Amino acid sequence: MSSPANAWQSFLTSQGAQFNALGEATFPATAANAQLFDLSSHGLIAISGADSQTFLQGQVTNDIKLLAQGAQFNGYCTPKGRLLALFFSFTIDDVIYLQCPRDLIPDLVKRLRMYVLRSKVLVEDASERRVSLGLASDTLAATIEALPVTPYQQAQTLHGTLIRLADAGAQQRALLVVAGEQAPTSWQSLSATFTPSSTSQWEALEIQAGIPQVYAATKEQFVPQMVNLDALNGINFKKGCYTGQEIVARTHYLGKVKRRTLLAQLTGGQAPHAGDVLHDAQQQEAGQLVRVAPTANNGWWVLAECRLEAKEAGAINWQGQTLDFKALPYVLP
């Protein structure tokens, strides 16, 4: 376990949390129905200024103008259409926030600032300014009156900005973004209803909801459609140009995507990791793991990017273990 890296982690440590090497909070295992999660292993990039919307419109895959209607997924690509990051994007007080793994943020901030030029735009690491919390329960809508009905819609609460997320099976979920100075008070208040739980359990819910992620180990490995960003309404094919747009559009218009990200489980044993290579029945490379989290029975939930023809032809394996594929909660285009 790692030592607390900042005041927020120090507070959570006083509440019984420990932190692993990934910066994820761990709490004693619980089967509680209503759960509260620390999501500070994912940080926030803040984009502000008079030209912020126009600036981002030329950088990411989705239509930033539609953020007025609710949160959205966005891909941030190289000129060759390969993902450098996958953002969950939303606005608070006219500032656009991009959520992604915290260790990616310094390089992403530096890269984005390179393209600001004379635009009236400020790009900042806001990971200390605001804290992200996760809420999950099969009765979340009854517990929190302000919870929006539709996924990715936002509402303001006494604690902060509440964003309804896609359900993970029977679990209704929400992201709560709280001002950093208010976060300890909000955590203690919410803990009266929700049981503090390990971040890895939230990761498992994200995987069951079919939500991919890009990590340091998988940067520039995927075009957006390979991780189902189109199925998640994270690509707008009618907006103007953005970095990598030509490749993304060509993939869309010239035929069926040959590689997709699928939901699966692995049995217990050695821990898999994002970026691990997958093989088909002939021991040929068939793809790689996109996202990994433990199951409740010592196995692993995984999102696996693989060649569809290889899956149709036979088993897909990770280090000799056959992936047990499950149905995604959404339809692939």
Please name the helix (run of DSSP H) or strand (run of DSSP E) that holds residue 48, with its range, or none: strand 42-48
pLDDT of the residue at 29:
85
Are 160 and 186 in contact, with CB atoms under 8 Å apart? Answer: yes
> Helices (DSSP H) in the chain: which residue ranges?
7-14, 52-57, 105-114, 140-143, 183-190, 199-208, 245-253, 308-313
User: Mean of the per-residue pLDDT values for the chain?
Assistant: 95
Distance CA 139, CA 31 (A): 15
Kindly tell me if the per-residue pLDDT of 274 is higher than 90: yes
The share of the chain scoring above pLDDT 70, in percent, equals 98
Average pLDDT over residues 30-49: 95
**Domains of the chain with CATH codes:** 35-255 (3.30.1360.120), 258-333 (2.40.30.110)
Kindly tell me if the per-residue pLDDT of 292 is higher than 90: yes
Distance CA 6, CA 260 (A): 38
Residues for the chain: how many in total? 333
pLDDT of the residue at 42:
97
Distance CA 174, CA 197 (A): 15
pLDDT of the residue at 235:
98
Local confidence band at 202 (pLDDT 50, 70, 90 cut-offs): very high
Average pLDDT over residues 259-284: 95
Kindly tell me if the per-residue pLDDT of 89 is higher than 90: yes
CA geometry: angle 278, 79, 119, nearest 5 deg: 135
One-character DSSP codes across 143-183: H-TT--SSTT-EEE-SSSEEEE---BTTBEEEEEEEETTTH
pLDDT of the residue at 5:
64
Kindly tell me if the per-residue pLDDT of 145 is higher than 90: no
| Cβ within 8 Å of residue 90, ≥6 positions away | 67, 70, 71, 72, 96, 97, 99, 154, 161, 163, 177
291-319: burial string, b at 16+ Cβ within 10 Å, e else: bbbbbeeeebbbbbbbbbebbeeeebbbe
Average pLDDT over residues 286-308: 96
Kindly tell me if the per-residue pLDDT of 279 is higher than 90: yes
Kindly tell me if the per-residue pLDDT of 255 is higher than 80: no
Average pLDDT over residues 27-47: 94
Kindly tell me if the per-residue pLDDT of 168 is higher than 90: yes
Average pLDDT over residues 283-290: 97
8-state DSSP, 271: P
Kindly tell me if the per-residue pLDDT of 3 is higher than 60: no
Average pLDDT over residues 65-85: 97
Local confidence band at 268 (pLDDT 50, 70, 90 cut-offs): confident
Average pLDDT over residues 187-196: 96
Local confidence band at 167 (pLDDT 50, 70, 90 cut-offs): very high
Local confidence band at 11 (pLDDT 50, 70, 90 cut-offs): very high
What 247-254 contacts at long range (C-beta under 8 Å, 24+ apart), as own/partner pairs, is: 247/77, 247/80, 247/81, 247/223, 248/61, 248/75, 248/77, 248/81, 248/223, 248/224, 251/81, 251/223, 251/225, 252/225
Local confidence band at 256 (pLDDT 50, 70, 90 cut-offs): confident
Distance CA 61, CA 305 (A): 20
For residue 203, give the 3-state DSSP assignment.
helix
Local confidence band at 2 (pLDDT 50, 70, 90 cut-offs): low
Local confidence band at 148 (pLDDT 50, 70, 90 cut-offs): very high
Average pLDDT over residues 54-74: 97
Kindly tell me if the per-residue pLDDT of 170 is higher than 90: yes
